[in-house]
Chain A
Amino acid sequence: MALLRGRGYASVNYPTGMNLGGDPSQALIHATTMGGFVVSLSSVDLGQGLKTIAAQCAAETLGMPMDNVIVDTADTDTGPHCMGTFASRGTHRVGNAVIMAAREAREVMLQVAAEELEVDADDLETDGSGFVRLKGSPETKIHVQDIALAAHFKQGRTISGRGIFLKERSYPVPETGEMDPDSAQAHACTVAEVEVDDETGIVTVLSLHNAYEIGRALNPAMVTQQVEGGAWMGVSHAVFEATEPYYPSSRAHGPVDFCEYLMPGPAETPVQTSVILERPASNGPFGAKGIGEMTANAPIPAVANAIFDACGVRITVMPFTPESILRGLDELRDAEPSA
């Protein structure tokens, strides 16, 4: 009886967005009287950080501090349209829509500022700290709050912008099946190191080493966390989660809560290292691709390959339970020529 160590890797390439009846998202931006910019979206942030990304895209395009941006995802009934946050599309679709809206709002903002400063709008630039200033003459400047007040109460204008990103529907070519289903492809590779107990069949994932090519990383801290949190989910798929034998026939006796539906806890967490490679995508917001869903994918086959490397058992059904490991080891022993 022994603890057997093994190493395996797997690669994944993954589409950004989808192609059903076309894939649009919209964004609207307007300035408040105080010089804040409200980004209205119907896109949902359920913790993945979409609001942060939308605020970054708006702030970068407007030339304003992040603090001036308010992202409002309040209501899908009344907000601008979004297909939803799925298909790893949020950053790509919503980011592009926000940039388009912010460009339009920025243009109006500069026009209002130009009238206040009595200069040409083409000669103005933002300084990133909240001011619009004359190029080459930085003392000629006006704060965004004064711009917003002037627009509202003096010039009678709305500083606002409309944005949409639409991935048009693509029909397959009947002869070849050729089509254009997504907007970009992100790529990744994970190396997993595991330990297999050949007495109990328990697989322990010791470490995961991830390399991700995701276009531009708009927020490297969030990218790393998505990669590692997603990889944790992959470990969960690989060696923990199972609803058999009850699902889908009956939920009456199946795992229905945190106590019964096993996922890795703090002590089952593998050590992770992650490398982010940036190859900006031409159609992405500042070059970003989507990496939402793919982060759970590569760890699973990587763990399966590591199990094979450790003990010679080739498992093709998830999760890789102790029972399946022990049955595989038994089959290997049975196949050995008897001494």
Chain B
Amino acid sequence: MTVKIVNLKLNGVDKAFMARPETTLLLGLREQLGMMGAKRGCAQGACGSCTVLLDGSPVVSCLVPAVTVDGSTVGTVEGLSDGQVLSDVQQAFLDGFATQCGFCTPGMIMSAEALLERNPDPTTEEVQEAISGNVCRCTGYEPIITAILDAAARRRGTTAATTPETDEGPPPTTAYESSEGMRADV
């Protein structure tokens, strides 16, 4: 079988990788380009945890043959932030505690990005529809829906639509985050 070189613009940067006919976009991203944000959940397009933006539209990258995206623009969760400041959607997810185990989060955020790009002022129902292809097993969806509405309000420049349900301030950082931050602080 023929191995082909796939060229794409990944998060604004020209990239190339070699793909066999059966290589999916997800595997290309994860195993050849080192982009581990998109997750491999069900590998059959049902869970949405591998959602990325292909030429601006959300796709389940586990079902996209890599050779078909040659010349395309691909956006992953890694491209949303410069590593210093979170994107408005990411910040809204963090402030609204719209994560728990985190496995669905990159896909949820990319679906939200695609929604807000085409509809800056979505209704609750439109948010529900936009993430209907993304499965979450921790949160019960409500904080995710709330966070996306919040992000939309932030992007429109209006007051945040909602505040986190608890009044204890932002949730504590996780041990994962702490372990990285420690050396800078101490």
Contacts and interface: CB of A to CB of B under 8 A. Distances in A.
Given A68-B185, A265-B135, 11 more contacts: A52-B172, A67-B173, A67-B182, A69-B175, A70-B178, A70-B179, A225-B143, A228-B139, A266-B128, A266-B129, A272-B142
Interface string B83-107: 0000000000000010011110000
Contacts, number: 125
A145 B186 CA distance: 6
A55 B175 contact: yes
Nearest to A273: B165
B128 to A, nearest CB: 4
A224 B166 contact: yes
Contacts of B17: none
Among A130, A222, A230, A265, the one with the most B-chain Cβ atoms within 10 Å of its Cβ is A265
Q: Looking at chain B's contact residues, is the secondary structure mostly helix, strand, loop, or mixed?
A: loop
Contacts of A266: 127-129, 131-132, 134, 141, 144-145
Interface string A221-253: 110110011111100000000000000000000
A71 B182 contact: no
A56 interface: yes
Interface stretch (A43-51, A78-86, A105-113, A307-315): A43-51
Contact of A51 (B135, B137, B175): B175
A220 interface: yes
Contacts of A271: 142
B42 A258 contact: yes
Contacts of B47: 258
Contacts of A46: 101
Q: How large is the interface on B (under 10, 10 to 19, 20 to 34, 35 or more residues)?
A: 35 or more
Given A34-B183, A67-B178, A225 B139 contact: yes
A90 B131 CA distance: 32
Contact of B145 (A48, A52, A263, A269): A269
B182 A229 contact: no
Among B100, B138, B144, the one with the most A-chain Cβ atoms within 10 Å of its Cβ is B138
Contacts of B128: 265-267, 269
A221 B131 contact: no
Contacts of B129: 266-267
Interface in B28-79: 42, 44, 46-47
A264 B142 CA distance: 12
B80 to A, nearest CB: 21
A189 interface: no
Interface in A51-106: 51-52, 54-56, 65-71
Contact of A36 (B141, B164, B186): B186
B181 to A, nearest CB: 5
B97 A221 contact: yes
A164 interface: no
B78 to A, nearest CB: 21
B148 to A, nearest CB: 10
Contact of B165 (A69, A219, A224, A230): A224
A47 B138 contact: yes
B87 to A, nearest CB: 21
B125 interface: yes
B12 interface: no
B42 A56 contact: no
A333 to B, nearest CB: 35
B126 to A, nearest CB: 11
A228 B164 CA distance: 14
A161 interface: no
Contact of B172 (A56, A144, A229): A56
B102 A47 contact: yes
B168 A34 contact: no
A67 B97 contact: no
B182 A225 contact: no
21 contacts: A49-B100, A65-B185, A70-B179, A219-B171, A220-B168, A221-B97, A222-B97, A225-B143, A228-B143, A229-B140, A231-B140, A257-B44, A257-B46, A263-B137, A265-B132, A265-B135, A266-B145, A269-B128, A269-B140, A269-B145, A272-B142
